[in-house]
Structure 1
Amino acid sequence: METLIVQPKTKKQLLAVEAVLKALNVTFKKEKSYSPAFIDEIAKGEEDIKNGRLTRITDVQNIWESIL
């Protein structure tokens, strides 16, 4: 079969699409998507960790002194 990607703009649209799919006995799954900018930030953070660009906090009692 085929896969459809539906992108409702409002909660009302989402509920309507889900109701139609349920009424037609069509199986579906919901997945949350993240903005491309957020995904890029996560990738940059992971790259920083791989390259050792991070701050390690060993004394959680004085956390603010560790990062300032």
Structure 2
Amino acid sequence: MLLKILDAVGIPYSAQGNPSPSGDKWFLESGNLQLMERGIADIKAGRITEIKDVDNIWESIL
């Protein structure tokens, strides 16, 4: 919230602790890192859906 206010009024700030090499602000939004970490944990645990045929997506995942 504070970062959005600083952006809105044009006050520069440092994004220290941002894990993105490009400084992408997505990583500063509350909850985004937790969402990403849960996704990585799902992949490692095998909780994924694989699309085998991109031309028939729905048939491929059912």
TM-score bracket for the superposition, by shorter chain length = 0.5 to 0.7
Moved over 2 A (4+): 28-31, 33-36
Q: For 1:1-68, what aligned pairs fall within 5 Å after superposition?
A: 7=3, 9=5, 11-14=7-10, 17-18=11-12, 31=23, 32=25, 33-68=27-62
Cα RMSD after superposing both structures = 2.8
CA distance 1:8–1:46, change in 2 (3 Å)? closer
TM-score normalised to the size of structure 1? 0.53
Q: Flag structure 1 segments of 5+ consecutive residues without an equivalent.
A: 1-5, 19-27
How many percent identity over aligned positions? Answer: 35
User: Whose relative contact order is higher, 1 or 2, with alpha carbons under 8 Å and at least 6 apart?
Assistant: 2
